[in-house]
Amino acid sequence: MTNNELLKEKCNPASYEKLMALRNTKLHEFVASYAELCNPNSIYVGTDAKEDRAYIRQQALKNGEEKSLAIKGHTIHFDGAQDQARDKAQTKYLLPHGADLTSVPNAIEKGPGIEEIRSILKDIMVGKEMYVLFFCLGPTGSEFSIPCVQLTDSSYVGHSEYILCRTGYEQFKEIGSSEAFFRYVHSAGDLENGVSKNVDKRRVYIDIEEDIVYSTNTQYAGNTVGLKKLSLRLAIQKASREGWLAEHMFLMAVHGPKGRKTYFSGAFPSACGKTSTAMLPGETIIGDDIAYLRKYKDALHGVNVECGIFGIIQDVNDKDDPVIWKVLSTPGQAIFSNVLVCDDNHPRWLGDGRPAPEKGINFSGQWHKGKKDADGKEIPSAHKNARYTISLYDLSNTDSELDNPHGVPVRGIIYGGRDSSILPPVQEAFNWEHGIITMGASLESETTAATLGKEGVRQINPMSNLDFLSIYLGTYINNNLQIVKGIEKPPRIFLVNYFQKDKEGNYLTAMEDKRVWIKWMELRVHGDVDAIKLPTGSIPEYEDLKRLFKEVLNKEYTEEDYLKQFSIRVLENCAKIARIKEFYTKHKKNVPDILFTILDEQKKRLERAHEEHGDSLFPPAFRHSQ
């Protein structure tokens, strides 16, 4: 049977016509190949039309992957008890025979990997419908655009992608016969009570040579929604070949004096304030997760790869998150996953600011307060990694340039980590190279008890992108250094830290203080305020912060607080440099020499300052030594 005959047999006339309207041989071969392997009963082809999006939503309800909630348009999805997070162990790169398997983490040979994944996919969709869906990473009709095609038997995955991503059927019409598109093959496998049954056969394999992601026997969106972190891995490889950057970054506009809007991107490891920064009151958001950065008209421009948010819902409440709360409590499309559903058919989650529920339905089935699992451990009302999926178009603080095909000019880049003892709340790099090396490539964060069971363990996570690199780390660092060549005024680079503590363990800054730090960064980008140059970077003048605290938060800011927050501890900074150098010595493949040079220069500045000023460097001593 030819590919054309197979597609005609599996598709209804309308779907066959929609697929054939895309004059792309590689696309047709791809769909036919996996239709033959996975053997679905039928194929449904979705376009950008509202009718197709509505069909996918209806199928999610019909097959039990989602259920309607009390508020119109809201649905609940449960993942299986063993399918609640990204499966790092089974997320593997497929590299061709002879390739250096140490070039990326968790790589295996492509031949055996393809053989294994094909054996799992064989006849996995028997009795099901395969959905062929089209999306676009980045705005459509743009040099940022990457067309994508998703094959899946999960209407929940399709529904999620229609909320999170821009549709791309018309984009495929534009590319004609081009073979430059990303491909995804997913199956939830056999379902039991609406969730994936055979999680022991869960696999997430990434073929970076062919731009294909395979995902089997899982529904959790981090393993299945190919256009998020799975695509980031493909995009990093593509960006490295083509001379741009694919980053684990938010994009936001900071609103300055006289109606001025200044765009920032930012990379923060988990639990370091990334989303809370992107959603700061008074500012506008373009994206909270992934950005592509390219040179355009003598500037670095960025786009949000997506147009939605797949966010952790724990601790979202009406006081701290009013914009998100409104979307989660009013009619419109929203998918809740792994929360509790109460008797009134309303969702509840941990930290939602309401009285604790007594009973309901959650990922464990019927739940009541005090319920324990097989090991005698108490089951919480909702999962700690419970999520919400919403569209950015529904948020009142979404920036007007979200879909600008040229992106937005990035004037500042912010790196942020969780640090109790070394870093001040905000500092600025001396220049691009200094920022990339000592702030981005040296990004370090302390773990929390919730993640590793032990607090304070320092982990180095360059640009908060280490988990997703599909190229050598050294090559990635060099790509970041080179991206601004030819740009007269590169973005300024900043490092923030919201987690400083005193010797008694008390935080030195409040949660809302980040609104002041970002306003100061906006002023620095435009040269509106001066700064004090310390050995590690430039910090704010006290008088500027005093004024900003009053203007932004209506708070008094004392010089005593300033000295506690912005004094630099020399020995701790030198110890950090030693850790960073050791880390890159282990990852030495392709690491540029300038990385070690800049780190050594910073250490020498600290040592000279230590000889003159002692263990702690106080800002007043450096105010007149600019």
pLDDT tier for residue 454 given thresholds of 50, 70 and 90: low
Average pLDDT of 248-256? Answer: 97
Fold of 3-66+82-243: Phosphoenolpyruvate Carboxykinase; domain 1 (3.40.449)
Q: What is each CA distance from 606 to 77, 579, 611, in whole angstroms? A: 53, 16, 9
Res 451: pLDDT: 44
Nearest to 305 by CA among 215, 412, 254, 229: 229
Residue entry with tokens 């040579």: 209
The tokens for 268 are 């923060």
Nearest to 127 by CA among 38, 206, 61: 38
Give the model confidence (pLDDT) of 338-386 as tens digits. 999 999 999 999 999 999 999 999 989 999 999 999 889 999 999 988 9
Q: For every residue of 533-551, which 3-state class applies, written as one string?
A: EECCEEEECHHHHHHHHHH
* Angle between helix 50-62 and helix 155-164 axes, rounded to 10 deg: 140
Residues in the chain: 626
**pLDDT higher than 90, residue 399:** yes
Do β-strands 359-362 and 300-304 pair in parallel, antiparallel, or remain unpaired? unpaired
* Partners of residue 301 on adjacent β-strands: 294, 409
Q: How far apart are CA 437 and CA 462, in angstroms?
A: 9
- Whether the CB-CB separation of 567 and 617 falls below 8 Å is answered with yes
Give 586's contacts (C-beta < 8 A, 6+ positions apart): none
**pLDDT higher than 80, residue 624:** no
Residues annotated catalytic, as ranges = 272
Where does 371-490 have alpha helices with state H? 432-435, 449-452, 473-482
Query: 246-305+401-621 is classed in which CATH architecture?
Result: Alpha-Beta Complex (3.90)
Are both 246-305+401-621 and 311-394 of the same fold?
no
Locate the domains of the chain by residue range. 3-66+82-243, 246-305+401-621, 311-394
Average pLDDT of 573-600? Answer: 94
Q: Which value, to the nearest 10 degrees, does the dihedral of the CA atoms of residues 549, 550, 556, 557 take?
A: 30
- Evaluate whether the domain defined by 311-394 bears CATH number 2.170.8.10: yes
Q: How far apart are CA 82 and CA 89, in angstroms?
A: 14
Res 473: pLDDT: 94
Res 581: pLDDT: 97
